[in-house]
C-alpha cells in the first residue's frame, strides 16, 4: 500500500506532515492500540470490537484482580498472550522503522504491550506499559520469558503459570492500579520535551500519564500531529490530523519524505 491508497482529502495533510518532519530537528512517535489493529489485534474502546466491549477491565486487568484470583486473571490473559504471540508487524510499524533508519525519527514511545515495534525492527523503543516478553514473580522477583510462561500455564492444573517458588507469575505489563515504570516514563517525557514534532499514532490519548505527553511537547515549543481514527483531546491543538487508514498514511508519509529528500 502506498500514498496512492490515501483518500484524496487526506493526501494534502500527509504532504504537510512530511514538510513538518523534514524541517524538524527531533521527531518522536507515540503509538497506541490503533497501530496494531491492521495486524489483527483489537483495540480497547472501539464500539463493537474493542477489547473492553465484552470484558470489564477492572475484573481482569487490575492488579487487585490478579492478587485476588490469579486463575480467573490468567484465563483471560493466557488466551490474549497466545493470540499476541502469533501476530506480526504491519506496514505502519515498518514505516516507523523506515523513518528511524533514515534518521528522521528519534524514538518510538508505545503504550502497546504486543512487541510488534520490536519485531518490526525499531531500535529506540520505550514501552511505557511494559510488554508480554516476560512475566515476573512478585514474591521473589524472578523473571521468565514468554515461551516458558506459556509452557508453565499449560502444565498447571489450575491454569496459573507459577514461579519456581510456587507463586503465580504476573505478566510484565502495567496493570490497572500499578504505576508506570519510572525510568520509561522519564525517558518518554524527556523525548517529548525536546521533540519538534510528536507523532501520535493510533492512540485515543485518554490514558494518563501518557496522554499528557503531547502537552509536554507543545509547552516546550514543539508541534503535534495526530494519526488516529476517531476524535482525541489533542485534535484541536494538532498541526495535522489524519484519521484514515494508518498503514496507508504512514507509508504515504515515507513516500512524501522521499520526494522531499
Catalytic residue set: 129
Q: Which residues pair with 125 in a beta bridge?
A: 108
Q: What is the DSSP string of 86-155?
A: H----HHHHHHHHHHHTT---EEEE---S-HHHHHT-SSEEETTEEEEEEEETTT--EEEHHHHHHHHHH
- What secondary structure letter does DSSP report for 200? E
CB 126 within 8 A of CB 108: yes
The span from the first CA to the last CA of the chain, in angstroms, equals 21
What's the CA gap between 24 and 56, in Å, rounded?
42
d(CA 168, CA 122): 32
Under a CB-based contact definition with an 8 Å cutoff, are residues 203 and 233 in contact? no
Phi, psi at 27, each rounded to 5°: -125, 135
Cα separation of 74 and 89, whole Å?
A: 25
Closest CA to 28 of 225, 172, 204: 225
Write the CA distances from 256 to 45, 201, 226, 227, 259, integer angstroms: 31, 17, 17, 16, 5
Q: The C-alpha cell of 95 is what?
A: 514505516
Amino acid at each position: 500500500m502506498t500514498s496512492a491508497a490515501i483518500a484524496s482529502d487526506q493526501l494534502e495533510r500527509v504532504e504537510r506532515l512530511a514538510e513538518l518532519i523534514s524541517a524538524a530537528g527531533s521527531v518522536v512517535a507515540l503509538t497506541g492500540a490503533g497501530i496494531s489493529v491492521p495486524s489483527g489485534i483489537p483495540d480497547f474502546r472501539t464500539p463493537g470490537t474493542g477489547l473492553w466491549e465484552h470484558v470489564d477491565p477492572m475484573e481482569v486487568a487490575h492488579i487487585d484482580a490478579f492478587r485476588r484470583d490469579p486463575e480467573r486473571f490468567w484465563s483471560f490473559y493466557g488466551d490474549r498472550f497466545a493470540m499476541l504471540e502469533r501476530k506480526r508487524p504491519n506496514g505502519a510499524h515498518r514505516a516507523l522503522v523506515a523513518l528511524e533508519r533514515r534518521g528522521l525519527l528519534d524514538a518510538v514511545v508505545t503504550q502497546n504491550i504486543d512487541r510488534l515495534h520490536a519485531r518490526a525492527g525499531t531500535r529506540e523503543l520505550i514501552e511505557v506499559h511494559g510488554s508480554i516478553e516476560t512475566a515476573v514473580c512478585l514474591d521473589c522477583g524472578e523473571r521468565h520469558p514468554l515461551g516458558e510462561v506459556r509452557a508453565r500455564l499449560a502444565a498447571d492444573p489450575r491454569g496459573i503459570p507459577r514461579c519456581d517458588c510456587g507463586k503465580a507469575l504476573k505478566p510484565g505489563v502495567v496493570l490497572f492500579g500499578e504505576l508506570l515504570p519510572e525510568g520509561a516514563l522519564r525517558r518518554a517525557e524527556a523525548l517529548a520535551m525536546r521533540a519538534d514534532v510528536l507523532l501520535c499514532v493510533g492512540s485515543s490519548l485518554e490514558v494518563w500519564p501518557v496522554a499528557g505527553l503531547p502537552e509536554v511537547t507543545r509547552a516546550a515549543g514543539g508541534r503535534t500531529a495526530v494519526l488516529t481514527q476517531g476524535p482525541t483531546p489533542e485534535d484541536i491543538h494538532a498541526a495535522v490530523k489524519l484519521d484514515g487508514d494508518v498503514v496507508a498514511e504512514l507509508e504515504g508519509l515515507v513516500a512524501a519524505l522521499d520526494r522531499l529528500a
